Structure 1
Amino acid sequence: MSFPMTTQTEANGPLDPARLSPWRQIGTPVADCRNARHALEKAGLAGWNIRKLQQSGTDITPNGVTTINNPEQVMLVRDDPATGQVRYLSSVGSGYGIRQNEEQADLLDALVAESGAESLADAGQLDGGKRTFVTMKLPQTMTVAGLDPVELYLAVFNSHDGSSSFRVMIVPFRIWCANQLGVAIRDRVSEVSIRHTRNAEIKVEEIRSKLGLMYSYAEAFEREARKMLDAELTTPEFREVVETIWPVDDNAPVRTRNNAERRRGELMRLWSSADTQQAVRGTRWAGWQAITEYVDHFQPAKDSTIRAHRVLTSGTVANRKQRAFDLLAVA
C-alpha cells in the first residue's frame, strides 16, 4: 500500500485527548511490551487455563435425587490470574475447540513483523472474558483527498463462548473524532476467520497469505471515502438519511418521539457545527462521519465504558454504520 503520510495536527487541530478509542477505554495499553506474550500477561489475558467441565442437572422427586449428565454441552471455565478464582465463561457444544489466549502469541508477533507495526497497541477482554481483543496500529495513514487522516489498525478477536470465530480484521480509524469505521465493501476481504473446532489450528501462514487481500480492502476503502468526500450532501438530504436509519412512527409513544428529537438534534449539531467536520463539512463523507461519531461517542449510555463495549460488540451499532455507509456511498 502507498498512502500519503500525515500527522494529527496538520489539518484542523489535534484530537481531544479525552476521546479515546473503544479499545483503549476497555483494554490495556501494551505498546511498551517486548512481545505478544508479555502483552497478554500485562492485559491479564495469560494463564487462564480454559477447560471443559461436564454439565449435569439434578432432578429431585419423591423417589429420590437423580443426576442427569448433558452429553451435548460442556461448561467452559477459566482461572482468574488476578484472584486465583475459577470463573465461568460459557456453555458450548462438546466438540468446541478450546483455544488458550497464549496460542495467538506467535501469530501476533508475526503480524507485527509482517505489517510493519511498531508494536501491539491495546489488549483486553469483553463480557468477563467471553471475548478478547488485541490491536496493532499499522504504519500507513491514508489521508482522504489530502484532508482527512484515517489510521489503519489490525484487530485480532477471539471468543470463548461459541459466538464467533477467531478473527483478524482491518479497521480504519478516523483520527479527528476517534471514529471506528469498519464496514463491508463489495468484493473486498476485510477479515480472516478460523472456526473453533476440535482440529482447527491458528496457522500463521494462512493469515499471512491473506494480508494482501485485507490491504486491498484498505485501498478500496480509501477510494470510496474519496468519492464521498468529493460529493456534496445537503442538510435536508442528511436529515433524510438520519430518519431512514432511525425511523420513528408518527403514532409512537411520547417518550420515543422525544428521544428521537433529542437524537436528531445531536446529529444535526454534529453535521452542521462540530469541529470534527470542519474540514469536510457539506460532503457525503461528513454525513457518514457525523452519524458514526454520534454512535461511537454520543449515543446515550450509562457511561463511556458501556458505550465503548457497545461499539465493539453490538450488531445494531455495526448495522447502523453499514446502513449509513451504503446510503451515502457514491455509485
Structure 2
Amino acid sequence: MSTTIADPNAAFAAEKAAQITAAGSAERAFQARIDRGEVRSLGGDRYEVLTGWDRGEILSAPCNAAGQIAQIIAQHGMDTRTDGTIALYASSPAWHGLGQIIPGGTTDIDTVLDLSGLDFEVTTVPALYQYGGELREHTDQRHVIRTDTGAALGAVGGRYTPIQNRQGFGFLQELTGSTDVVWESAGAVRDGRRVFVSIRLPETVTVDADGINDLIVPYVVVLNDHSGKGQFQCVVTPWRPVCGNTERFALRDAVTRWSVRHTAGATDRIKEARRTLGLSLDYFEQFADEEAALARTDLEIDEFHKIVAGLWPLDDDATSRARTSHARRLGLIDAGFRTEAERVGRTAYAAERAITGYLDHVAPKRPGKTMTEEIARATALIEGSDDETKSKAHKRLMLLTRR
C-alpha cells in the first residue's frame, strides 16, 4: 500500500519538531547536533546533515520573531502533483523523507506512473503566431504540450517525435531482459519537462571488503526530456546509500551514458544501448578495484589541497571576491575530507567522497527563472552535470595510487 502525504513539508517538519520536543528545547537540541558535528551550517538558515541515515540532507531552519528556531524543513526539489503530493515514487524513503513509498518496490508500471506523477502523455501541436491581424503557422516548428493540462513544455523542430513516459519503463525492461523489473524510483522535475525512472541492479559492489567494507549499489536510470532541449538518456550510476553521492566515471573503455534524439523508433535501439552502457560485471568489478585502490592510498592534507586546487584553479589576478569564494569552497571541501577521514581513514577514497559530496550537496547551484536552488541541485544530481569534475577528480586521485 502506498503512503500519501497531504502536505509533505508540513508532515516532515512536524516529525522533526516532535523529535526535538522530546529532547527539550528545539534551539538547544539543534545546536547540540551542530556542536556534536552531526550538522553544519551552510549559511543563512540552511544546514547539512553529516551523520546518520539522513546524511547529506539539506535542512532549512528558519527562526521566529524571537530569534528561535521555528521549524525544520527538508529541502527536496521535486515537482508537486495535482493533489499536492510530491511527484516521486520510491521503494524506500528518499533522503528528504517525501514522496509515495512502497516498501520493497513494485513491478506494476501503472502504479508507479500514478504515484510518481508521470501518468501523463505529451504531444506536439502547431506553432502559431499573429501577424497582420491573422493567425499563421510556423511550419518548421511545433510545441510540446502535456495532454492532461495543456501546459507548454518546449518548442521543437518539425521532425521531433515525443518519447512517452511509459516508454522509459519499457526501455528498461528490454534493456535488462526482464518484464519483472522492480522499480526503484521515478519522478519529475521542472514541471514535467524532465522525468526519471530507475532500477536497482541485483549486483552489489563492496569496496575494500577487508578494510572499509563500503557498499556500492549499481542503478540504471532513464532520463527523458520533454522540453526539446535534451535527449532521451540512460545512465549507469554507482550509488553510495550511506551518503547519496553519485559516481559516473568514464572507466577506461566503459562508457556509462547512452543517449538518443527524439525520433521514431529511438527506444528500439536496445542492442546499441547495451553495448554502450557496458552492462556487465566486468564494469562493476573494475569500478570496485579502482575504488579499493583509492581506499588503500594514504593522502596528506597538503596533497588533498593540491588536488582541489587543480580542479578549481585560482588565477593570480583573481579579484578579492573570487579569492573569498575560493577560500570558502576549500573550507567546505576540507571539512568534508576531515569528516570522511574519520569514517574511512585519511585516504584518496576519503578525498573522492569529500569532493563528490561537495558537488552533490553543498556547491552553489544557479537556479533558472522558475527554479529554486534546491530544485536546481536535485536536477543537477539527476542529470549528472558535475560528472566531468567528478571524473577528473577520480583520474587525478588514481594517479596517486601508482606512486
Same fold (TM over 0.5): yes
**Equivalent residue number for residue 283 of structure 1:** 347
3-state DSSP of counterpart to 1:179 = coil
The one of 292, 303, 306 equivalent to 2:376 is 306
Is the contact between residue 189 and residue 217 of structure 1 (CA under 8 Å) also seen in structure 2? no
1:197 aligns with 2:244: no
**Equivalent residue number for residue 124 of structure 1:** 187
Q: Distance in 1 between matches of 2:283 and 2:230?
A: 21
Residue 74 and residue 143 in structure 1: after superposition, are their counterparts in 2 closer, same or farther (change >3 A)?
Answer: same
Q: Which structure 2 residues correspond to residues 91-170 of structure 1 after superposition, within 5 A?
A: 91-110=155-174, 114=178, 119-146=182-209, 147=212, 148-170=214-236
Q: Distance in 1 between matches of 2:117 and 2:279?
A: 32
Deviations 1:184-217 (CA, angstroms, capped at 9, x unpaired): 1121132333331134343566656777645432
Residue 120 and residue 222 in structure 1: after superposition, are their counterparts in 2 closer, same or farther (change >3 A)?
Answer: same
1:53 is displaced (CA, Å) by 1.1
Given residue 298 of structure 1, which amino acid in structure 2 is its aligned partner? V
Residue 320 and residue 116 in structure 1: after superposition, are their counterparts in 2 closer, same or farther (change >3 A)?
Answer: farther
Using structure 2 for the length normalisation, give the TM-score: 0.67
Is the contact between residue 112 and residue 120 of structure 1 (CA under 8 Å) also seen in structure 2? no
Unaligned residue ranges in structure 2 (runs of 5+): 1-49, 59-75, 79-86, 92-101, 366-371
1:17 is displaced (CA, Å) by 2.3
1:106 is displaced (CA, Å) by 2.9
**Equivalent residue number for residue 29 of structure 1:** 89
Given residue 125 of structure 2, which amino acid in structure 1 is its aligned partner? L
Is the contact between residue 184 and residue 199 of structure 2 (CA under 8 Å) also seen in structure 1? yes
Q: Distance in 1 between matches of 2:156 and 2:193?
A: 11
Q: Distance in 1 between matches of 2:377 and 2:302?
A: 28
Using structure 1 for the length normalisation, give the TM-score: 0.80
Is the contact between residue 170 and residue 214 of structure 1 (CA under 8 Å) also seen in structure 2? no
Is the contact between residue 112 and residue 136 of structure 1 (CA under 8 Å) also seen in structure 2? no
Q: Distance in 1 between matches of 2:166 and 2:180?
A: 22
**Equivalent residue number for residue 19 of structure 2:** none
Given residue 361 of structure 2, which amino acid in structure 1 is its aligned partner? H
Residue 219 and residue 25 in structure 1: after superposition, are their counterparts in 2 closer, same or farther (change >3 A)?
Answer: farther
1:177 is displaced (CA, Å) by 2.1
**Equivalent residue number for residue 4 of structure 1:** none
1:114 is displaced (CA, Å) by 3.9
Given residue 113 of structure 2, which amino acid in structure 1 is its aligned partner? L
**Equivalent residue number for residue 76 of structure 1:** 144
Given residue 104 of structure 1, which amino acid in structure 2 is its aligned partner? G
Residue 190 and residue 115 in structure 1: after superposition, are their counterparts in 2 closer, same or farther (change >3 A)?
Answer: farther
Q: Distance in 1 between matches of 2:280 and 2:395?
A: 20
Residue 278 and residue 140 in structure 1: after superposition, are their counterparts in 2 closer, same or farther (change >3 A)?
Answer: farther
1:185 aligns with 2:280: no
Given residue 47 of structure 1, which amino acid in structure 2 is its aligned partner? F
**Equivalent residue number for residue 119 of structure 2:** 46
Deviations 1:270-328 (CA, angstroms, capped at 9, x unpaired): 112x1x4434332222111111111111223565443222222363x222212211221
3-state DSSP of counterpart to 1:177 = coil
